[in-house]
């Protein structure tokens, strides 16, 4: 008998993957958590029925969430990751030697524990000496932090459940206050095929707060539509002014010095969303 997992990305559309083995199914304090081993994408972390990451394609999201902002900022010493309990963004952050401390604030400790056990290739740097892992509310951490971070990366789920406040204008205002005077933040902002309204709203809100706002994209096959966007807000530094020669050669599989600026070249229908 074959077993398949299907994520309904809209009420009328979804993706499906053949399951080799179910490793974890648990209802945590915050969400339904599952860890399944799939034939095509390997081990897959699923929260509330949505694919969060897979062993096969995780590097795209995690590299693109971290490196564009960290390369744009000339000296990112203090970095905050909100969410991201799987540890993938943290793994990428500490590839930058300038980073003295990377703080991870994840609301659901079960995600961290499950990732450490079943996704070691993703979560393997959560115990790094430059990493401070905190189980708590990222929204409150932001509100309680003032002029503290050089770079803030919001690695949230889609805007439902505990992640919903992370897409509100007040949260972006809090991020602005938590950043130093030349700080940068980046957040995943879903896909333009099914969530065009969300991208437009986030873009408007961030533009009201930050003088420099840029949207960039990446191809992530297990995320809705495969075309994923990130929104960057910067107080001072423009990612489009980064010279290719100044981008360090990092141990990456997707992000490269040439890709840095290319990622900000959007299809016209996405450009139209963020004008």
Give catalytic status of residue 32 as yes or no: no
CB-CB contact of 215 with 266 (8 Å):
yes
Tokens of 219: 């191809």
Residues 6+ apart with CB under 8 A from 25: 32, 33, 34
Q: Which of 57, 86, 108, 155 is catalytic?
A: 155
Provide the pLDDT confidence category of residue 164 given band limits of 50, 70 and 90: low
Sign of CA dihedral 107, 109, 112, 114: negative
Query: For 27-83, how does the pLDDT look when each residue is reduced to its tens digit (9 = 90+)?
Result: 999 999 999 999 999 999 999 999 999 999 999 999 999 999 999 999 999 999 999
Provide the pLDDT confidence category of residue 163 given band limits of 50, 70 and 90: low
Q: Determine how many CB atoms are found less than 10 A away from the CB of residue 27.
A: 9
d(CA 42, CA 31): 22
* pLDDT for the residue numbered 161: 57
Percent of the chain with pLDDT over 90: 93
Estimate the crossing angle of helix 196-207 against helix 169-178, to 10 degrees: 40
Say what the pTM is: 0.96
Backbone angles phi, psi at 37, to 5 degrees: -105, 115
């Amino acid at each position: 008998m074959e077993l398949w997992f299907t994520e309904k990305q809209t009420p009328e559309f979804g993706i499906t993957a053949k399951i080799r083995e179910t490793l974890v199914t648990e209802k945590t304090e915050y969400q339904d958590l599952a860890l399944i081993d799939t034939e095509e994408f390997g081990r897959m972390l699923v929260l509330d029925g949505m694919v969060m990451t897979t062993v096969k394609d995780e590097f795209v999201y995690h590299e693109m969430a971290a490196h564009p902002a960290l390369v744009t900022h000339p000296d990112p010493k203090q970095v905050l990751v909100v969410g991201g309990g799987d540890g993938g963004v943290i793994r990428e952050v500490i590839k930058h030697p300038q980073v003295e401390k990377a703080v991870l604030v994840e609301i659901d400790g079960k995600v961290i524990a499950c990732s450490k056990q079943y996704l070691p290739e993703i979560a393997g740097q959560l115990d790094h000496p430059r990493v401070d892992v905190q189980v708590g509310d990222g929204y409150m951490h932001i509100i309680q932090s003032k002029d503290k971070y050089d770079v803030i990366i919001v690695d949230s789920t889609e805007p439902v459940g505990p992640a919903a406040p992370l897409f509100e204008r007040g949260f972006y205002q809090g991020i602005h206050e938590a950043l130093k005077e030349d700080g940068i933040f980046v957040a995943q902002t879903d896909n333009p095929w099914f969530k065009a309204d969300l991208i437009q709203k986030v873009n408007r809100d961030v533009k009201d707060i930050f003088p420099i706002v840029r949207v960039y994209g990446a191809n992530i096959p297990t995320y809705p539509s495969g075309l994923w966007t990130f929104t960057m807000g910067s107080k001072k530094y423009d990612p489009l002014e980064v010279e290719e020669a100044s981008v360090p050669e990092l141990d990456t599989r997707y992000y490269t010095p040439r890709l840095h600026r290319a990622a900000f070249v959007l299809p016209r229908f996405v450009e139209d969303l963020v004008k």
